[in-house]
Amino acid sequence: MPPDNIPESLSVPLSSLVNLAIEYWRLATWLAAIPGSNSSAAGPARHALRRFEEFFKSSDLEVRSMDGQPFDPGLAVRVIDALEDATLPDGRTVIAETLSPMVLWHGRVLKPAEIVIRRGVGKGRA
């Protein structure tokens, strides 16, 4: 049976908030990829995502996608797969896809991103 008094706040482990932030990112990414996601039918989902985003900002949590960024071995990422790309100059490496986002709190990495990179195997250097 629940207590008679409802508390003002709950103590939630940070790891639970990190997992919630990742699921928020997955849902936002999924919604953005659906054709017609800007229609009025998707309005309630976009509103809910904005509310989640506001909550994360108020908690100083940031969810960061890494897509398209130059890859640097010093980044807080875990490379899941590496693909060769003949369209990139030899030696150039970029992040092709974020599989799971980086989660930060006050700028400190709580969870590294999981990514797929593309390595240039084309002719010449950038």
Instruction: State pLDDT tens for residues 67-99.
Output: 999 999 999 999 999 999 999 999 899 999 999
DSSP track, 1-64? ---SSPPS-----HHHHHHHHHHHHHHHHHHHHSTTTTSGGGHHHHHHHHHHHHHHHHTTEEEE
Mean of per-residue pLDDT scores for the chain? 90
Domain locations along the chain: 14-120
Confidence (pTM): 0.81
Q: What would the mean pLDDT of 53-63 be, rounded to a whole number?
A: 94
Instruction: Provide the CATH topology of domain 14-120.
Output: Nucleotide Exchange Factor Grpe; Chain A, domain 2 (2.30.22)
Q: What would the mean pLDDT of 54-78 be, rounded to a whole number?
A: 95
pLDDT surpasses 70 at 18: yes
